[in-house]
Structure 1
């Protein structure tokens, strides 16, 4: 094999060299997709990084571009990339992935990323110390593997310090350490971790595709942890993805996940359930197919959305947002409102266009923001953290705010 490699490197044809440079084909059929447990991959199997690191400052060169991590069968080999720094080992052509049409069409104001940083599912949380904390799905390719949960801190939503890997799958995980098969390849990656400051402590909820969801708690009372499982270290709480938490002003805590079809109340210290899983009801469904991902067809378009829920409260009303696809492909929160946490919810509407898969939060000055990470080609950048100013209109709907504002 060493001799063959030398021959390829020295005198082989361009076609032979190109074949040698191709990433190795996944070892299982693509339809092997049920998350069955498997032994770890051989050493060196993955050449992509499992962390994203500190990132780079935003400049004229880093305002656009980013990463597009694909899991489609035809190009599951790679990641589209545009920007400074090292390209992923499996980089694919960029094409027109950051068209910015959501801005040029006047749907949101111009927005730049917070950092040039590969981060999906951006979450920003105002902590008990007055600082903002940010996390999300990290690493070069989360459809395959990453190392765990990374964290950043900011005093003003502009300057960000990297706090590193605050929870490692390998060192700190329980059931999460198990490798599985996903879409024909070795898989172990934390998806959509969210940091929350609830009842005086920091909690992180996360998920692993085909396995389930979990809640971690800080043992130090600090955002950087260390973190341990708040409950159920040996098995997932539910089979699903995209867990989210909501702490009410009366101390009650709620957990939902996936398309937010059900929700459960937790004990105030998140050590266990304080009730039963209960269906979430939507009183007036939006039956327009142009406002839904095709995954919602099987439910007759009667869901709030199909993944990535978030929940908050404003002016005495509960808001439940779930990501859906809007005219034709915007990845946005569909928001609905209710008088009670479990519903019934009403007035489903697209919130900040392209602002989905993260969260909606209020800053130290009482202003509202919606995170954006660029999960469709309407966005001005891709898989990087950003925030869009938001406000409530006369109907109580959260919409993009075009009034001049800086963080």
Structure 2
């Protein structure tokens, strides 16, 4: 069911070693269906200025090693998706640093990782990473989501070393950038052509020092961070949410912290959507909050396909799966709601 000539063999349908669904059995994750059968990691959605939802992610024939560029999909309702096309072709449109093949364990690579489309200042921007590291930001030269896209920054080199970049526009029009483990944040210039300030280091109040809530690399450096990759940043009800993916009790989940200030300190580190992966949070046309989901651990019920989970928040502001889940099949809904009452109802 996965697109491409070179999918990882361990992700074949039916291999329970890689896809047990135990998180669904425990009531931690709703039994949502994938939006469609597409091999896609790191999917992120933005609501565009034209009322359509736009989706990007790690895609292509062999997303681990090679990509032609960045692909884009759109939808009016999150259910039916239309392929917009290849909106940025590396061979035709990219700088030389992007075109170069790089060394990665066991193979040479030229893969685009975790591209994110954002609707900012009335235009479309895409931040992207080249495997194994190197980040750039593109902007639409026409104001249309399909581009063409050109460099936002005025340099022919990575804006930073690293992966998993994201952008956030605050209510006052200021735009911020973070990446990787979300350990630091920088303000961008008003015209999006560069950084307006040096990066500021993020401090986490009362960090979670439980080793089972962190990847080994985080344990080794003291467990004073949110996660180790897949940065995310958004705002809800005047509170800033900063997060990164981590290994939380064997699940690859985004862990969020909450703050009254964009630069922190952040507090209340918590697992948001179990098994969701390095994800994005977005608000729909009706004001509901959602998280994209791609399943990247053996507790998930599917692997590396795009799905959507509606998100609710506790009175203290912690994110968790909502009871109402439009992507759960009717036959599974009653069972999910019963499990939600057992596992999550205490959050209300």
User: Is TM > 0.5 for Structure 1 vs Structure 2?
Assistant: yes
What is the aligned counterpart of 1:151 among 68, 72, 78?
A: 72
Superposed displacement of residue 78, structure 1: 4.4
Larger radius of gyration: 1
User: Which residue of structure 1 aligns with residue 130 of structure 2?
Assistant: 208
User: Which residue of structure 1 aligns with residue 161 of structure 2?
Assistant: 239
Q: Residues 45-100 of structure 1: CA distance to partner in whole angstroms, max 9, x if unpaired?
A: xxxxxxxxxxxxxxxxx7xxx58999xxxxxx9433435xxxxxxxxx93532221
Q: Residues 340-369 of structure 1: CA distance to partner in whole angstroms, max 9, x if unpaired?
A: 111100010000111121201110000011
CA distance in 1, matches of 2:257, 2:176: 17
Secondary structure of 2:10's counterpart equals strand
1:326 is the counterpart of 2:256: no
1:399 is the counterpart of 2:329: no
Secondary structure of 2:49's counterpart equals coil
Native 8 Å contact 2:44 2:117 kept in 1: yes
Superposed displacement of residue 104, structure 1: 1.3
My pick for the range that moved more, 353-362 or 198-207, is: 353-362
Q: 1:30-45 residue pairs with structure 2 within 5 A? A: none
1:368 is the counterpart of 2:309: no
1:286 is the counterpart of 2:208: yes
Uncovered stretches (5+) of structure 2, i.e. residues with no partner:
329-348
What is the aligned counterpart of 1:217 among 126, 129, 139?
A: 139
Q: 1:48-67 residue pairs with structure 2 within 5 A? A: none
Q: 1:4-403 residue pairs with structure 2 within 5 A? A: 78-82=8-12, 94-174=15-95, 175-327=97-249, 329-403=250-324
Native 8 Å contact 1:67 1:80 kept in 2: no
Secondary structure of 1:80's counterpart equals helix
Q: Residues 317-349 of structure 1: CA distance to partner in whole angstroms, max 9, x if unpaired?
A: 10001101111x111110000111111000100
Native 8 Å contact 1:69 1:143 kept in 2: no
CA distance in 2, matches of 1:164, 1:238: 27
Change beyond 3 A, Cα 1:110–1:210: closer
CA distance in 2, matches of 1:233, 1:102: 45
Q: Residues 145-186 of structure 1: CA distance to partner in whole angstroms, max 9, x if unpaired?
A: 111110000000011000111111111110201111111311
CA distance in 2, matches of 1:79, 1:338: 42
RMSD value, Cα: 2.0
Uncovered stretches (5+) of structure 1, i.e. residues with no partner:
1-61, 71-76, 84-92
Q: Residues 236-284 of structure 1: CA distance to partner in whole angstroms, max 9, x if unpaired?
A: 0111000111111100001111111111100233111111111111121
TM value normalised by structure 2: 0.89
Native 8 Å contact 1:199 1:268 kept in 2: no
Q: Residues 113-169 of structure 1: CA distance to partner in whole angstroms, max 9, x if unpaired?
A: 011001000111111111000110012332211111100000000110001111111
CA distance in 1, matches of 2:5, 2:246: 19
Count of paired positions: 327
CA distance in 1, matches of 2:133, 2:242: 24
